[in-house]
């Protein structure tokens, strides 16, 4: 069974078919966050600190770190943030940039085995990113598009993913260290976006036998109650075999959907995490059973 192991210097996270869904916190990303972008450029990382701690306490197993700020020294800022976040938390990181020099700067200061986010299927991208992934012994997110664009045909996207996985193996990167992003499109503009992902995730899992991840919130772009839709999408994607997502763990609806999907997939034996999280909500106030039960409860941790 496919297991991708990523780590910090003190903690390993296993992404895999038989593992609870891996939540990669997306908040440390200045795209679309003007205040954060300005602060990061000015070397003020206080918001990065707060976002890191809050996401971990909300249940993120990993954190994505992105410093894509226009006209800024992205390699420097990304490396600063990687060091800072690693000094605050023990969760492994996903180092996120489309700038190769920034990926390298982030990797060079990283303690442990990182997830590189990301490589796409164009030849020049493959040949610049994959050697770095190999050099630093990292894992990598493979996004299933290339110079021809993002196909609406999931089978074309499958072929791109396959090409990336094979090229990674040519570079000496094991298949288990490639986590494929099938690309989640806005359902409000493309009515088949949800089914595309379901179809593709199944093929990726059964035929290519790779782990998968996605930017889940894309699906709800331009629609009301985005968290509700994101939650439905995540539950479906997990049902189809998706093994991780880059998403916002601060959103209660999504976290509930993910925890529920873990139960349904048989990845939460005896429903222990679910019960621990929601036990008190089912207890009638003043019930005598509450004290006795909680007193004898075994402590569990995800």
Partner 1 sequence: MTDNHSEQADEIDLNALPDDELVEQMHDDLYDGLKEEIEEGTNILLQRGWDAGKVLEDALVEGMRIVGIDFRDGILFVPEVLMSANAMKGGMAILRPLLAETGASTIGKMVIGTVKGDIHDIGKNLVAMMMEGAGFEVINIGINNGVENYLEAIEEHKPDILGMSALLTTTMPYMKVVIDTLVEQGIRDDFIVLVGGAPLNEEFSQAVGADAYCRDAAVAVETAKQMMHEKRVHTASS
**Minimum separation from the CB atom of position 123 to partner 1 (A):** 12
**Minimum separation from the CB atom of position 98 to partner 1 (A):** 4
**215 is a site residue for partner 1 (CB under 8 A):** no
**34 is a site residue for partner 1 (CB under 8 A):** yes
For residue 265, what are its two tokens?
């997939």
The dihedrals phi and psi of 95, each to the nearest 5 degrees, come to -95, 115
For residue 13, what are its two tokens?
């996270």
The dihedrals phi and psi of 116, each to the nearest 5 degrees, come to -90, 125
- The residue behind tokens 């770095």 is 132
DSSP-derived secondary structure for 242-271: --EEEE-TT-HHHHHHHHHHHHHTT-SGGG
**Minimum separation from the CB atom of position 83 to partner 1 (A):** 21
The span from the CA of 221 to the CA of 216, in Å, is 10
> Cis (ω within 30 of 0) for the bond into 46?
no
**Among the listed residues 43, 70, 269, 295, the single contact to partner 1 using CB under 8 A:** 70
**Among the listed residues 32, 43, 282, 291, the single contact to partner 1 using CB under 8 A:** 32
Residue 232 and residue 262 in contact, taking contact as beta carbons nearer than 8 Å? no
Among candidates 159, 149, 247, 167, which has minimal Cα distance to 200? 159
User: What residues from 222 to 281 belong to the interface with partner 1 (CB under 8 A)?
Assistant: 222-224
User: What residues from 12 to 31 belong to the interface with partner 1 (CB under 8 A)?
Assistant: 31
**Among the listed residues 1, 42, 46, 71, the single contact to partner 1 using CB under 8 A:** 71
> Of the two residues 6 and 185, which places its CB atom closer to partner 1 in the complex?
185
Count interface residues toward partner 1 (CB under 8 A).
27
3-state secondary structure of 246: strand
**185 is a site residue for partner 1 (CB under 8 A):** yes
User: What residues from 143 to 162 belong to the interface with partner 1 (CB under 8 A)?
Assistant: 145-150
**195 is a site residue for partner 1 (CB under 8 A):** no
**221 is a site residue for partner 1 (CB under 8 A):** yes
Among candidates 53, 61, 51, which has minimal Cα distance to 22? 61
Q: Which residues would be at the binding site for partner 1 (CB under 8 A)? A: 31-32, 34, 37, 68-71, 74, 97-99, 145-150, 185-186, 188-190, 221-224
């Amino acid at each position: 069974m496919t297991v991708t192991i990523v780590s910090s210097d003190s903690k390993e996270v296993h992404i895999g078919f038989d593992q609870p869904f891996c939540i990669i916190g997306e908040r440390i990303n200045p795209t679309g966050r003007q205040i954060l972008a300005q602060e990061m450029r000015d070397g003020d990382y206080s918001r990065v600190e707060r976002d890191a701690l809050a996401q971990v306490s909300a249940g993120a197993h990993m954190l994505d770190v992105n410093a894509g700020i226009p006209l800024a020294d992205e390699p420097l800022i990304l490396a600063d943030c990687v060091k800072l976040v690693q000094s605050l938390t023990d969760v492994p990181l996903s180092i996120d940039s489309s700038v190769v020099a920034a990926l390298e700067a982030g990797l060079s200061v990283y303690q442990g085995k990182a997830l590189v986010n990301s490589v796409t299927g164009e030849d020049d991208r493959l040949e610049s990113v994959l050697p770095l992934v190999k050099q630093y012994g990292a894992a990598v997110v493979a996004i299933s598009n290339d110079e021809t664009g993002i196909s609406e045909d999931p089978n074309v996207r499958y072929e791109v993913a396959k090409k990336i996985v094979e090229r990674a193996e040519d570079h000496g990167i094991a298949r288990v260290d490639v986590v494929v992003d099938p690309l989640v499109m806005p359902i409000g503009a493309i009515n088949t976006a949800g089914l595309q992902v379901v179809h593709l995730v199944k093929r990726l899992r059964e035929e290519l036998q790779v782990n998968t991840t996605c930017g889940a919130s894309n699906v709800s772009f331009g629609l009301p109650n985005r968290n509700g839709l994101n939650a439905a999408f995540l539950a479906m994607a997990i049902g189809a075999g998706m093994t991780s997502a880059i998403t916002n763990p601060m959103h209660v609806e999504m976290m509930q959907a993910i925890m529920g999907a873990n139960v349904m997939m048989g990845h939460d034996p005896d429903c222990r995490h679910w019960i621990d999280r929601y036990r008190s909500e089912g207890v009638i106030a003043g019930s005598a059973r509450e004290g006795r039960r909680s007193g004898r409860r075994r402590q569990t941790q995800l």
